[in-house]
Structure 1
Amino acid sequence: MSTIRSVWWAATMPGHEPPFDTAHLRVYYSAVPDGSDRERLSGVMAADTSGAPYPVALIVSGVNVGQEAYRWLACALAERGIVAVTYDWVGTLFGGLHGITPGVDLDAAKPDGYGTRPTCPSLRPVLDALAAMTGPVAGLLDLDRVALIGHSAGGTVALQSASFLPEIKAVATYGAHTMVATMLGWPAGTVLPAQADCPVLLVAGENDGVINGSADRYGEDAATRRDPITRTFDEALPDRDGANLLVRLAGANHFGIVHPVDHTAARAFLDLPADGDPAEHRALLAELVGAFCRTHLRGGPDAQAELDKLTENPGVAAVRRR
C-alpha cells in the first residue's frame, strides 16, 4: 500500500472581507519516504514522481461538514494515483449565519442568473491556488484533468458550476441534486439543468433522510414527490452514451460519505439510520468514485472494466446509465 501524506495550502476568496476571505486547503498525495534528516525534522515527505503529472480530485464539502470528514476518501483516491484536495472555507451561509461552506452564489442560482456563471465561486480560486503551490507536489499536478467530488450542497454546486471550468473532466456527487428552492424565485418542483459538460456520477443512499427532510424547500410534499436525485439524472443531464451513471447504495444514508460524523454541526440529526455496515458503504463508494475518476481522468479499458464490474456489486441496489 502506498504511503499517503498531506500538505496544507491556502486560497484567497475574492470579494470577501477578512477574516472570511481565506480557504484552507489540504492536498493528499502518494509519498516516498527517504529517511532523511530533512524529512525527520520537517515531517514532509517527498512525492512519488513515478505517476506524475497526477490528475486532481477536488472534494467539495457539504454545509458545515469539515474537510477532515472526507480525509478517508482523499486517502483512498491518492492510493489510486489521483491527488485529492479538500478545503474548509468559513464564510456566509443562508440567513447571515457563518459556517463551513462550499461557496454558494445565491444570485447565480436565481432565474435571471442561472447559467451565466458558476454557483460555486470558490472553485476557481482553489484551482488557481493549487497551480501556485510550492512544496512536494509543486509541478506534479495535472490541472487540466480535474474531477469535482461533491457531497450534499457541495455536490449541487459542483453540478451547477463544472462547465464554467474547462479543466473539469468528471463530476461525482453523493446525496446531491439540482432541484432548486422556491425562495430563489423558481416554481415548485423545478429541477435545473446541470452545468456539466463531462460525465457525471450521481450516488445516492437508499436511507437518505436529509433530502427527505428538505422537501419543503422545493415546494413539494415529501410524501408524494419524486426523488430529486432520480429527477436530476432524468431531467438535468444529457445522454452521454452510458457515461452518466446513477448508482444507489443499499442501506447507505446521507452522511454515508462522511467519517466520522460530527453530530455537533450540520444536519445529521435529520438522517435515517444506515442499514448494514457504514464502513462497507464507504469502501464501495471509494471503489466507485476511484474507478469513475480513473476512467475519465486517466482513461484506459482497465478502469472502465473495473467501474462496470463495481456496478454489479451486491452493495449496489440499483444502477442506471445514460
Structure 2
Amino acid sequence: MRLRGLATATVLTSLLTGLAAGLSAPAAADTGVAHYSSQIENDGTDVYYPSGATGELPVALMLQGAQVHRMHYARYAREIASHGFVVVVPNHKRLLFFDNDYYASQSQPAETVDWMDDENARAGSPLQGRIDTDTLVLLGHSFGGATGLAIAESTCVTPFCTGLTYTMPSEVKAGSFFGTNNKLPGLGIFPEVDNRVPVQLVQGTADGVALPADAETTYGKIKDNPKQIVRLAGANHYGITDAQNPAGADPDAAAQTITQDQSIETAARWAARFLKAALGDAAAAGYVWSTGDAADPLVTVTGAQ
C-alpha cells in the first residue's frame, strides 16, 4: 500500500503465535478476550477487550486497509486486546475516487473519542466505567496506516481528510502501522512526516504491495522521536489479516514464508508493546527499546527514543 494518495498500490490506476516467537518474548496477558458488536457513528464496529483485566483500559482504534472488511482483523484485534487494550474495529465505508468501499478517514479518531465517552457511561455496556476516556492509540493497515500517519501529523491530507482542515484529538497518544509507507503515487516522492505522537512502522520483508524499501524511506522521513521500524521476516502485505488476500481487497502476489499465526502474533506483540511503552509502561518500554530485538528471531528493529 502506498500512502497519501492511494488505497493499495493500484487504487489510482483502477488500490512462531509460532514456536520461535512464542519462546522469544513474554507472553500476552492471560486474561481471555471478550467480543461484542457496537457502532461508531454510522460504522458497524467489533469491540474486543480483556475480560479479566481490572482498572481503566485504553482504547486502540484499528484503521482498516483499503477494501478490507473489519471481520478480517479478528485475530489481530484479539491479540492486541490480550495486552490490555479495548480494540475497536469499525467498518468505515465512504466514497473515494468514485469508489464507495471501506476506506479509513481522519474523522475516525474524533468519532471514536465520542464513542468512548458514551460507551463508558452507557448502562448495560460490558465496558461501563472501564474505559480510559483520555487515551486513544491508533493501529492501521495499508491505507489505514497512511491515514494514521496523516492523523499523527494533525494535518488535513488528501485523500484521508474529508474536510478542509484537521486537528488531531488530544486523546490520541501514539500509533503503530503495518504495511505502510508515504510514497506519493506516480511521483516517487516521500513527504516529511511531522508527527506529533510516537509512531511505529511494522513492515513485512516479503510484502509485494507496500515495498520494504519504501517503508525504510518513510521511516527516515518521520521527524520526531520516539519512532521505530520493526522488520518482520517472511510476512507479506496481509500478515495481520485472518487469512491471506481477503476477499474484496487487492491481493499480494508475493507469498508469505511464515505462518499466519506467526505473523499475526509477532506483529500484534510489537505493536501492543510499543503503544504501551508510549503510554508509560516501563516493562513494555524495556522490551521494545532494549531486549525484544535480540530475543525475537523473526524481527530486526531500528528505533530512536
Q: TM-score normalized by structure 1?
A: 0.74
Structure 1 unmatched ranges of 5 or more: 13-21, 33-47, 104-119, 183-187, 213-225
Query: Residue 303 of structure 2 aligns to which amino acid in structure 1?
Result: R
Counterpart position of 2:175: 171
Give the Cα separation in 1 of the matches to 2:175 and 2:110.
Answer: 15
Give the Cα separation in 2 of the matches to 1:263 and 1:77.
Answer: 20
1:91 pairs, out of 83, 91, 94, with 94
State the 4+ residue runs in structure 1 displaced beyond 6 angstroms: none
Give the Cα separation in 2 of the matches to 1:278 and 1:136.
Answer: 30
Cα offset for 1:309? Answer: 2.2
Give the Cα separation in 1 of the matches to 2:188 and 2:101.
Answer: 28
When the two chains are superposed, the root-mean-square deviation of aligned CA atoms in Å is 1.9
Deviations 1:51-100 (A, max 9, x none): x2111111111011111211112211222111111110222132x12211
Counterpart position of 2:31: 2
Q: Would you say 1:63 and 2:63 are equivalent positions?
A: no
How many corresponding residue pairs? 255
Q: Retained in 2: the 8 A contact 1:160–1:178?
A: no
Q: TM-score normalized by structure 2?
A: 0.78
Cα offset for 1:295? Answer: 1.0
Secondary structure in structure 1 of the residue aligned to 2:218: helix
Give the Cα separation in 2 of the matches to 1:156 and 1:178.
Answer: 7
Cα offset for 1:303? Answer: 1.4
1:31 pairs, out of 24, 34, 51, with 51
Query: Residue 173 of structure 1 aligns to which amino acid in structure 2?
Result: F
Counterpart position of 1:258: 241
Give the Cα separation in 2 of the matches to 1:145 and 1:130.
Answer: 9
CA 1:5–1:300: 2 relative to 1, 3 Å: closer
| Greater relative contact order structure (CA < 8 Å, 6+ sep) | 2
Query: Residue 190 of structure 1 aligns to which amino acid in structure 2?
Result: I
Q: Would you say 1:181 and 2:166 are equivalent positions?
A: no
Cα offset for 1:262? Answer: 5.0
More helix per residue: 1 or 2?
1
Secondary structure in structure 1 of the residue aligned to 2:110: helix
Q: Retained in 1: the 8 A contact 2:180–2:201?
A: yes
Query: Residue 57 of structure 2 aligns to which amino acid in structure 1?
Result: Y
Q: Retained in 2: the 8 A contact 1:255–1:271?
A: no
Larger radius of gyration: 1
Counterpart position of 1:275: 257
Give the Cα separation in 2 of the matches to 1:75 and 1:11.
Answer: 19
Give the Cα separation in 2 of the matches to 1:249 and 1:152.
Answer: 15
Matches within 5 A, 1:1-322: 1-12=30-41, 22-31=42-51, 48=53, 50=54, 52-94=55-97, 96-103=98-105, 120-133=106-119, 134=122, 135-162=125-152, 163=154, 164-182=168-186, 188-212=187-211, 227-235=213-221, 237-240=222-225, 243-261=226-244, 263-268=246-251, 270-297=252-279, 299-307=280-288, 308-312=290-294, 313-316=296-299, 318-322=300-304
Give the Cα separation in 2 of the matches to 1:262 and 1:231.
Answer: 25
Cα offset for 1:152? Answer: 0.2
Give the Cα separation in 1 of the matches to 2:56 and 2:246.
Answer: 38
Identity %, equivalent residues: 25
CA 1:125–1:195: 2 relative to 1, 3 Å: farther
Give the Cα separation in 1 of the matches to 2:210 and 2:267.
Answer: 19
Counterpart position of 1:15: none
Give the Cα separation in 2 of the matches to 1:79 and 1:26.
Answer: 15
Query: Residue 178 of structure 1 aligns to which amino acid in structure 2?
Result: N
Counterpart position of 1:221: none
